[in-house]
Amino acid sequence: MKLKELAFARSSDKGNHVDIGLFAYTEEGYRLIERQITAERVAAYFAPLGIGAVERYEVPTIWALKFVIRNALDGGASRSIRADNQGKTWSGALLRMEIEPRPCEKNER
Amino acid sequence: MGFYGDTFLPALEMIQKEAVDYICFEDLAELTLAILQKDRQRNPAEGYTKDLVPMLRACWKEARAKGIRLITNAGGLNPRGAAEAALAVARELGIEARVAVVEGDSVLERLEEFRPFPHMETGEPLPEEVRRRALFANVYLGARPIVEALKTGADLVITGRVADAALFLAPLVYEFDWSFDDLQRMAIGTAVGHLLECSSQVTGGNHGGRWAEIPDLDRIGFPIAEVSEDGTAIITKTPDTGGRVSFDTVREQLLYEIHDPRAYATPDVVLDFSQVRLAEVGPDRVQVSGVVGHPRPERYKALLGYEDGYMGQALIGYSWPDALKKAQATEAILRRQLERMRLPLQEIRAEYLGYNSLHGPLADPAQADQLNEVYLRLTVRTSDRRAAEQVSRVMVPLALGGPPTASGFIGFDRTRALLGIWPSLIDREPVDAGVRISVLEVRT
């Protein structure tokens, strides 16, 4: 299923970096995104947009992951010529990622 | 308010309902100073965010009567000019007024003192060719000078660049006589400021979750923090307004634009949100706790903005059938024409509004052939303003000389100056030595 079913997100710019907060609707959902939405996967997903390194941070008390995508905005919102110069819609792009609803089953069997 | 151009009507509502003791107006995004620099170049009396004047006209008299104090960074590049404009409003309204001005955040004229002004991330010294094109260079000051300004008894405090959250921390420090060494109180006070500084982004605006369920966005309320001396903090909003304050809206804003949630650096404290607790304690009421504070960074963050060329853009739309194919054919035509014109362009970019202008290569290609309509947005980057302007005009003849079904909405002549950003970390002492607080008054 799409990540959108399990979580919502908000993104924006800070200098040349895009900053995305990803928030699971439930604790169970958090466990799924915490396991599956890794920094490596996010880096590969956004690679076509021309990005640098991706960092991921976890805030489990609010079921949230934080992604910082470095050097993603052609020098920053004020010098970018993109329609989405601030990366405000990267949250939506992230929510289109596929997520496996029950990743534990294989391990348990 | 959360940015230059935001509405102040929800603030007026807050005053009318006597819901608060202080209102903070945050007006300066990273880009705003570039706009203000252009204003100041045209007229040295300007350089502040001009919506300060209508805001004060609407709010100030009643705020004063109710003892509500106003704090704003609307001063931008000219806090004193903003104060003069405020005093003119006070005379117009026939009220007494005491305005405190915080100056000293601008270091553009003093860059020599801060050499090599190294880039915050790469450590590279500020290149001479960037310095020559600098439009502004400002330090993010902390809450201390705002606290000093409040001590003068001013009912309006005007600053230039300060950390956004510092606008909100300052009245808490002043009212409760908190010590800047009390990291826990600095942490909760700054967290509260961070939650409030984008106005309605914490009351249900721009909400990524179940946004359609947020009630009455047409009359969305601005956020309010109720904070006690011991650091208990509740985020709420003006009573009987639209929007919502919930676990979802608060956690979404908490992580907004902060990078590492374990180490969000502000001039007054470094915040750690990794153990944060958010509890819904009533309708539209969320209690915030568990924010940890670490000692403030050794240096101030400063941001230098410099001229970095121009963007020219042009727009044209096509309808079904083959909307995308027509727009793509137009892109190819334009690229050939631009090449023939031999304009000094550094970058040409084509985006298709309605198809991939926002997500680019991540857009879903499945619907590409069935789109009802598509707009081609062609943008260029160039160091030559006239070249940028010419690009805006090349689209027009294509209405008759290109693919069929071009819309009447063509051209979109809006050349924009591009701005490079050079962030740096600089020593505090020489900055602090240059900070000045002055008081201007109108007596009736």
Tens of each residue's pLDDT in chain B, 444 residues: 778 888 889 999 999 998 899 999 999 987 788 889 889 989 999 999 999 999 999 999 999 999 999 999 999 999 999 999 999 999 999 999 999 999 999 999 999 999 999 999 999 999 999 999 999 999 999 999 999 999 999 999 999 999 999 999 999 999 999 999 999 999 999 999 999 999 999 999 999 999 999 999 999 999 999 999 999 999 999 999 999 999 999 999 999 999 999 999 999 999 999 999 999 999 999 999 999 999 999 999 999 999 999 999 999 999 999 999 999 999 999 999 999 999 999 999 999 999 999 999 999 999 899 999 999 999 999 999 999 999 878 888 888 899 999 987 777 668 899 999 999 999 999 999 999 999 999 997
Domain-embedded: residue A107: no
Whether residues A78 and B349 touch (CB distance < 8 A) is answered with: no
Domain containing residue A29: CATH number? 3.30.70
All residues of chain B having their beta carbon less than 8 Å from the beta carbon of residue A59 are 255, 261, 273-274, 276
Residue with tokens 């510092």: B166
Domain-embedded: residue A108: no
Closest residue to B421, CB basis, from A45, A46, A76? A76
Residue B274 touches chain A, beta carbons under 8 Å: yes
- Domains of chain B by start residue, with CATH: 9-105+140-299+427-442 (no CATH), 307-422 (3.30.70)
Q: Which amino acid is at A15?
A: G
Q: How close is the nearest chain B Cα to the Cα of A100, in Å? A: 20
> Does the CA dihedral B11-B15-B17-B18 come out positive or negative?
positive
> Which of A2, A81, A90, A95 to mutate against chain B (most B CBs within 10 Å)?
A81
Contact A73, A85 (CB under 8 A): yes
What distance in Å separates the CA atoms of residue B310 and residue A79, rounded to the nearest whole number?
8
Domain-embedded: residue A37: yes
Closest residue to B257, CB basis, from A19, A63, A96? A19
Strand residues in B320-415 grouped as ranges (E): 345-353, 373-382
Q: How close is the nearest chain A Cα to the Cα of B353, in Å? A: 9
DSSP label at residue B136? E
Closest CA to B357 of A88, A28, A105: A88
| Domains in chain A, number | 1
Residue B216, classed as helix, strand or coil, is coil
ipTM of model: 0.94
Closest CA to A60 of B255, B189, B74: B255
Domain-embedded: residue A59: yes
What distance in Å separates the CA atoms of residue B223 and residue B198, rounded to the nearest whole number?
9
- Containing structural domain, residue A69: 3-101
Residues 6 or more apart in contact with residue B234 via CB below 8 angstroms: B225, B226, B227, B281, B285, B286, B287, B288
Domain-embedded: residue A109: no
Domain-embedded: residue A28: yes
Residue A2 touches chain B, beta carbons under 8 Å: no
Domain-embedded: residue A9: yes
Neighbours of B342 (CB within 10 A): 8
Closest CA to B276 of A37, A28, A58: A58
Contact A65, A56 (CB under 8 A): yes
Residues 6 or more apart in contact with residue B160 via CB below 8 angstroms: B73, B75, B76, B77, B78, B79, B102, B103, B105, B106, B138, B141
Domain-embedded: residue A79: yes
Contact B78, B47 (CB under 8 A): yes
